[in-house]
Structure 1
Amino acid sequence: MNEDRVSLTIADGIAHVRLNRPDKMNALDPAMFDAIIAAGAQLREASGVRAVVLSGAGRSFCAGLDTASFAAAPDPAQPPLAKRTHGNANRYQEVAMTWAKCPVPVIAAIHGVCFGGGLQIASGADIRVCTPDARLAIMEMKWGLVPDMGGFALWRGLVRPDVLRELVYTNREMTGEEALSAGLVTQLATDPLACAMQLAQVIAARNPAAIRQAKRLFAAMPDEDTDALLQLESEAQAQVIRQPNQIEAVMAGLERRQPIFTD
């Protein structure tokens, strides 16, 4: 992983992934794409990680695509966009979809600007904490493009369809407060990174097996019918009930102490 683009630290069960190109407001260039994908892949295999916080260094979360990269000629070594190179996604979609695929909850801390691909990356998180005065936009139409980094899959169920269409068609800029009303962010905080870390600590203190199963169920919700979801619920519960971590959760509650879980 290119640490000039993305830093990754893990402590007390919480992974902190930070976009690390502050001089460019964490704008996305090819090296950033590769580094984000590498971080996501590493976390999917890491043991002991119970929550992930995703943030941006410097003045902003992510300004979207680096305009210099946008102006450059296409790299002939890259596969065509329609080719699936990362499971169900291409390289650019995987930058956002990797967070939805992460087996543990991901919390994005948004400040400054969060435009275009940056907003799609944040949308891959389970929870988005944002400053009230942050600037957000689905920016692609400004450049004559459609959002193509997983946005349409990730915004499904978050944003009312007519509101989403207006935001896509016009690339209108929003504040964090407006984005909260639209459904693009979860909550507001003057210090979103501190708030995200506090949420991650709460999640990390829960039964990690139950948290992972819950995320699998959330991933299935948009596509499965009622009968299938009921079946998946039962199967998920069967995986965690009466297991050591679930018993520890009950005992810790009865004894009024912090639980000690194993991963």
Structure 2
Amino acid sequence: MDDKRVSVDIDSAGVATVTMTRGTQHNALDGPMIAALLASAEQLHRDSRVRAVVLRGDGESFCAGLDVKHFLQTPDNIDDLLVRAPGEVANLAQRVSYDWHRLPVPVIAAITGNCFGGGLQIALGADIRVAAPDARLSIMEVQWGLVPDMGITQSISKVVGIDVAKELTFTGRILSGSEAKDLHLITHAVDDPYAYAQQLAHDIASRPPKAVRAAKRLFNEAWTADPATGLAMETDLQRDLLVDLESR
């Protein structure tokens, strides 16, 4: 068992690679893994060098979801995950996914092997998902008699229709990466997701960083907003960028 759980490497281009390192357990989410993912997101949020993030799992799988055995042995930890800090909209379990959505730079999930339950919800927190055609993805919580509760209401509605979301949640069906691409649950299905994600991240990192950050904020905040709010945000963000261009 790897006590570190998550590694973060930032290269000279400003691309951060976040790797879940519990590969022998298919990167299943135990307490230390959840804490490490939250700490990694907080670290990257504070680091102005970062222009894009690649999120991946070491070993065969991206993330097999919650380590149920771990949490059954320590039930108090489950209660801790459901607590929201003062002023926070998400509880700790939800932040494992939602913090990647809130990161000001683009996040790309590179998915191989199993991507189940909480693992899929982490991937849905990314802006772009790249999966191997033979990856296995599932909203699996129904098999445990549970609902998905790690931020899925804030993510899946932006990538698939409600009928697809309901079917996948009601059945817990396992999709291949190719099937997930057909349903628009992922963005790209390629043989080497990590290499593709790195290339895409470096392409994004080569673009003007303030414009990229503004674009992510625009879509995050205005995608489901009313027309007045969305159009006003376009104007406000553009004005800020134009002022920045004029001051160079």
State TM-score, norm by structure 2.
Answer: 0.94
What does residue 16 of structure 2 align with? Answer: 15
> More displaced, 172-181 or 222-231?
222-231
Q: Distance in 2 between matches of 1:169 and 1:76?
A: 26
Partner of 2:160: 159
Name the CA distance, whole Å, in 1 between partners of 2:69 and 2:238.
49
**Match of residue 53 from structure 2:** 52
User: Equivalent residue of 2:160, what SS?
Assistant: coil
Structure 1: distance between partners of 2:183 and 2:68: 27
Q: Deviations over 1:154-182 (max 9, x none)?
A: 10121111111010001000000111111
Q: Percent identity?
A: 47
Within a 5 Å distance, the mapping from 1:88-107 to structure 2 comes to 88-107=89-108
CA contact (8 A) 2:22 2:58 kept: yes
Residue by residue over 1:38-75, the C-alpha shift from the partner in whole angstroms, topping out at 9 and shown as x without a partner, is: 00011111011100000000001001111312422421
Superposed, 1:49-88 pairs within 5 Å as 49-75=50-76, 78-79=79-80, 81=82, 83-84=84-85, 87-88=88-89
Is this contact kept in 2: 1:86–1:94, CA < 8 A? no
Q: Name the SS of the counterpart of 1:241 in structure 2.
A: helix
The one-character-per-residue Cα deviations of 1:72-107 (angstroms, maximum 9, x if unpaired) are 242179547263467210000000001000000000
| CA deviation after TM superposition for structure 1 residue 222, in Å | 3.6
Q: Aligned residues, how many?
A: 246
SS at match of 2:48: coil
Equivalent in the alignment of 2:196: 195
Aligned equivalents of 1:98, 1:229: Cα separation in 2: 22
Q: Paired residue for 2:6? A: 6
Is 1:114 aligned to 2:115, yes or no? yes
Go from structure 1 to structure 2 and tell me whether the alpha carbon gap of 1:136 and 1:247 turns closer, same or farther (over 3 Å shift): farther
SS of the residue aligned with 2:137?
strand
Q: Distance in 2 between matches of 1:55 and 1:98?
A: 15
Residue aligned with 1:243, SS: helix
Between the aligned partners of 2:42 and 2:102, the Cα distance in structure 1 is 9
Aligned partner letter, 2:95: E
2:109/2:128 contact within 8 Å kept: yes
SS at match of 1:62: coil
In 2, distance between residues paired with 1:134 and 1:76? 30
Return 5+ residue gaps in structure 1 as ranges: 249-263
Query: Which protein shows a greater Rg?
Result: 1
1:221 Cα deviation after fit = 2.5
CA–CA separation in structure 1 for the residues paired with 2:233 and 2:214: 10
| 1:260 aligned partner | none
Matched, 1:42 2:43: yes
Does the 8 Å contact 1:85/1:91 carry over to 2?
A: no
Q: Which moved more, 1:212-221 or 1:222-231?
A: 222-231
- Rounded Cα–Cα distance in structure 1 between residues aligned with 2:108 and 2:74: 34
Cα distance in 2, alignment partners of residues 106 and 98 from structure 1? 10
* Number of the residue aligned with 1:31: 32
SS at 1:136 equivalent:
strand
> Structure 1 counterpart of 2:5, which letter?
R
Write out aligned runs for 1:171-186 (5 A): 171-186=172-187
Q: Distance in 2 between matches of 1:17 and 1:128?
A: 14
What is the alpha-carbon root mean square deviation over aligned residues?
Answer: 1.9
Alpha-carbon distance in 2 for matches of 1:96, 1:212: 19
